[in-house]
Structure 1
């Protein structure tokens, strides 16, 4: 039994081909409509699985482009009744009805569990041998509504990285790609990251910076690297200790999916029903810092420093093209850059501060109490630099890495 999968996102193609092949199907994939149509004629599939959000026949990427051309080609031009199943994050009733009028067999709304997808395929064209075992093994895997890249900066994290949590998340969330950035660690963090990646190469990568440049630079490089890949709809970052866990990060992504926001930022503000744990002294320092940040920003956000944020891919280059002014306060500077780019009113409208349901302070944090006190001085430095920038008297030079500091992407 042969299946043709057409989708412009490699994460989806790789995931579906692997799982459908494991289920016993013969699978071919296409990353554009033109290749999909060509393969339909040469491969003669028993079923076509197509994403509805695909580039049009002209090859141009349009804001509201669809893959309906594939359906039209099969049903109208080829007069074929081969089953066509549509995968889409678009849940518009009118679009679904339009597709059924064109002659599709089934419409699956993302996110969709792999078990459900395989069950629908099996009901439509039959099950290969022993695919019931594949269904049981894959029951937790989900194909997301969008493809998301996540940068995870790491400096001497060998003793704190929870390898199984990262592996499990990458295996079960097929629309995610985790990019670990090794920030010149002096321990065996790089070896640990390589081991986490082993067997998960499609969904986990390691970006190695030979020299420690600080968290701000590690995140910046990782974000810019992922932004080069057009398959990602959203790109964010998360702390390696998972003080904000993947459940809350998923919630940030869902908020971005269903809104006009450009950035969704986690907030660790204590509230009823949330499990937010901080040391008492750290909590006092955090509140003091946040009050100063609110005063400098002139914006109503209460926790800019939370290490969990996700944004639309087209925003990444605007926010991360220049090195950050300070070592610890790059999160604040992102808010300042948003204000500079869009103006205060629009920046406030484009940023969503979403309270986390849980957050745990992890032992071994790289930020000491002495560093916390230094942040007060860095805040005034940041305020001064952006005042000068607003006045047009300061320019930022983009870092030109030399041979010692250029990162290596491990493929």
Structure 2
């Protein structure tokens, strides 16, 4: 029995095709709807699985081609994040056999395939992972790595992508001097469709590693959102997935994790580090003119259309590039619009990891780096920056220099 699956997101097709093949079906996949129609004619499938929202032509055009042009009764199953009642009604009016809304369980998809076209004869013993969910969005995650040979929690990363479709992890080796690159390449084996290792020969610092990884992932056409996460998983992947859910179901362009202590959350910090963080945050809020509680959390997710604005140019500082990102967004869109685009979401869990690369001495240096940021973006020529904002930044800079002790 043959199945043709058409979806513009490769990360959705890979686990779907893999599971159907395990069950004994012959499966072909295509990310281009026009080519999918060509495959339909040559492959002559027993079932077509198609998404609705695709570029070029929609999945509904594929349905019309099969039903109206070819006059075929081939069973058609729609898997889509489109929940518009008119679209669903149109689909059934055209003669689709099933409509499933993403996100959905891969087990349920396979059960409905069996109901539509039966079960192929197969001697293959399958192991069904009942937790795997087909998502309606695809996400790239950049993880900067420097000398992480002994700290990288490889199993936590692989377990997550094995259970969560639609994720592609990009580990950026930032010129590590230990065996980090070897560890990352071993981590990628067998999961090449879901894990990329981006190797920087020279150490450029976290800011540049993240920037390079974000720009690289932005070139992948099937990703909707791209974010970054610390390699030590002080913010775990489940919490990161919550940030993705927020940006997916809102009009925000950036959702940033926040390590705010609150009831029901597991947030731990070193006491001395906490005091320094509060001092730094006070200055940051003055520079940004936003009431951010925690700009420096290493877990953030971005809508793809603000990646170029946020990461195209190199950052002025190494550790507090997050502040520069928010400043760039403000300069490009204006303060009020930026406030509407940015969301700070408290995390359920954040644990300070031993072996942090940021020392207390570095933390003190950050205050000086904030002065660099204020100066750089105050004098920077930007066509979208009005004179009013220039004056505002100048006032912030002088206010920053007037702070003798926090």
- TM-score by length of structure 2 reads 0.92
Residues 241 and 362 in structure 1, CA contact (< 8 A), matched pair in contact too: yes
Could you tell me which residue of structure 2 aligns to residue 374 of structure 1? 365
- State how 1:10-409 maps to structure 2 within 5 Å: 10-57=10-57, 66-129=58-121, 133-134=125-126, 136-389=127-380
Measured in 1, the distance between the counterparts of 2:120 and 2:298 equals: 45
Measured in 2, the distance between the counterparts of 1:325 and 1:131 equals: 60
Residues 22 and 124 in structure 2, CA contact (< 8 A), matched pair in contact too: no
Measured in 2, the distance between the counterparts of 1:48 and 1:154 equals: 42
Measured in 2, the distance between the counterparts of 1:149 and 1:276 equals: 25
**CA distance 1:131–1:370, shift in 2 (3 Å):** farther
Per-residue deviation, 1:130: 5.5
Say whether residues 1:3 and 2:3 are aligned partners.
yes
- Structure 1 regions of 5+ residues with no counterpart? 58-65, 393-411
- Structure 2 regions of 5+ residues with no counterpart? 384-406
Ranges of 4+ aligned residues in structure 1 off by more than 4 Å: 130-133
Residues 331 and 382 in structure 2, CA contact (< 8 A), matched pair in contact too: no
Measured in 1, the distance between the counterparts of 2:354 and 2:90 equals: 54
Residues 24 and 124 in structure 2, CA contact (< 8 A), matched pair in contact too: no
Per-residue deviation, 1:287: 1.1
SS in 2 for 1:137: coil
Residues 55 and 67 in structure 1, CA contact (< 8 A), matched pair in contact too: no
**CA offset digits 1:221-272 (Å, max 9, x no partner):** 0000010111111000000001111111111111111111111111111111
**CA offset digits 1:82-101 (Å, max 9, x no partner):** 11111111222332222212
- Count of paired positions: 384
Measured in 1, the distance between the counterparts of 2:314 and 2:158 equals: 31
Per-residue deviation, 1:13: 2.5
Residues 23 and 131 in structure 1, CA contact (< 8 A), matched pair in contact too: no
Measured in 2, the distance between the counterparts of 1:391 and 1:206 equals: 35
| Root mean square deviation of aligned Cα | 1.6
**CA distance 1:391–1:90, shift in 2 (3 Å):** closer
**CA offset digits 1:333-375 (Å, max 9, x no partner):** 0000000110000001000111111111111110011111110
- TM-score by length of structure 1 reads 0.91
**CA distance 1:250–1:364, shift in 2 (3 Å):** same
Per-residue deviation, 1:390: 5.3
Measured in 2, the distance between the counterparts of 1:10 and 1:157 equals: 30
Per-residue deviation, 1:131: 8.6
Measured in 2, the distance between the counterparts of 1:133 and 1:279 equals: 50
* Residue range with higher mean Cα deviation, 125-134 or 43-52: 125-134
**CA offset digits 1:48-92 (Å, max 9, x no partner):** 0001111244xxxxxxxx310001111111111111111111222
